[in-house]
């Protein structure tokens, strides 16, 4: 049976467009317009959806509350939040809702399908048959005392800032960090650095990792949001 995606969206046009693309990509979908109807539906859903696309602004119970509630009651059900503004994502990240990804409107339905696939792949890998192997596969080793990062035993030769960036992201694999959050960890007074500074440090960090592992992309950029450490597919 095809995986079912729950679309929670009060704009019928958007919901229909996304549903059409999902169907065209081999998914089933179910659409709910009103926030109050989501939890009762999930309570009875059989089978459970594989993933929830959750709009932030909804009539009735809002997306924030719903995301928290879903995290608590169905911790393994992935959630992708749909938001109307890029700036909002920073605020959402700060709230640590535990959403698996964020997509800003206007979005292309193709992008939504790609993100849905990526999040599902990750969720399935995390739930996977070999959880121990996944842990063992953590590729980088941090030597906090020496401010060194080792990849297969090789010192990456990171600067203090690069080390700090990597350490912050490695503490929460899969979690998306905004540039703002990363700056907070890098500098006491981050007013003096720009977001582009973060990008340039991340770029160098990635280049150093790529020298050891050209085929692995373990620091990923999340379009228009920030970065995350993702050791596995």
55 near Ca ion, judged by CB under 5 A:
yes
Window of 49-57, 104-112, 136-144, 170-178 that interacts with Ca ion by CB under 5 A = 49-57
Among 17, 39, 45, 57, binds Ca ion (CB under 5 A): 57
Binding mask 173-192 for Ca ion (x = CB under 5 A): --------------------
Give the residue with the Cβ less far from Ca ion, 54 or 225. Answer: 54
Q: How many residues line the site for Ca ion (CB under 5 A)? A: 3
Q: Minimal CB distance to Ca ion: which residue?
A: 57
118 near Ca ion, judged by CB under 5 A:
no
10 near Ca ion, judged by CB under 5 A:
yes
195 near Ca ion, judged by CB under 5 A:
no
28 near Ca ion, judged by CB under 5 A:
no
Q: What is the 3-state secondary structure (H, E, C) of the chain?
A: CCCEEEEECCCHHHHHHHHHHHHHCCCEEEEECCHHHHHHHHHHCCCCCCEEEEECCCCCCCHHHHHHHHHHHCCCCCEEEEECCHHHHHHHHHHCCCCCEEEECCCCHHHHHHHHHHHHHHHHHHHCCCHHHHHHCCCEEEECCCCEEEECCEECCCCHHHHHHHHHHHCCCCCCEEHHHHHHHHCCCHHHCCHHHHHHHHHHHHHHHHHHCCCCCCEEEECCCEEEECCCC
**Chain contacts with Ca ion (rule: CB under 5 A):** 10, 55, 57
């Amino acid at each position: 049976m095809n995986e079912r995606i729950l679309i929670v969206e009060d704009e019928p046009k958007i919901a229909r467009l996304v549903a059409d693309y999902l169907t065209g990509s081999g998914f089933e979908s179910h659409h709910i317009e009103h926030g109050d109807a989501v939890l009762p539906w999930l309570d009875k859903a059989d089978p459970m959806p594989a993933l929830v696309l959750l709009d932030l602004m909804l009539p009735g119970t809002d997306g924030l509350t719903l995301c928290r509630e879903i995290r608590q009651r169905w911790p393994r059900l992935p959630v992708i939040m749909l938001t109307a503004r890029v700036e909002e994502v920073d605020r959402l990240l700060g709230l640590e809702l535990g959403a698996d990804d964020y997509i800003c409107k206007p979005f292309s339905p193709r992008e939504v399908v790609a993100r849905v696939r990526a999040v599902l792949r990750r969720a399935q890998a995390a739930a996977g048959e070999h959880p121990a192997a996944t842990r063992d596969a953590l590729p980088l080793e941090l030597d906090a005392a020496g401010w060194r990062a080792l990849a297969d035993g090789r010192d990456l030769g990171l600067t203090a800032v690069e080390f700090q960036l990597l350490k912050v992201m490695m503490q929460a694999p899969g979690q998306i960090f905004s540039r703002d959050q990363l700056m907070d960890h890098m500098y006491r007074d981050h007013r003096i650095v720009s977001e582009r500074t973060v990008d340039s440090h991340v770029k160098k960090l990635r280049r150093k990792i790529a020298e050891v592992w050209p085929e692995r992309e373990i620091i990923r950029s999340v379009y228009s949001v920030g970065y995350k450490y993702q050791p596995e597919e």
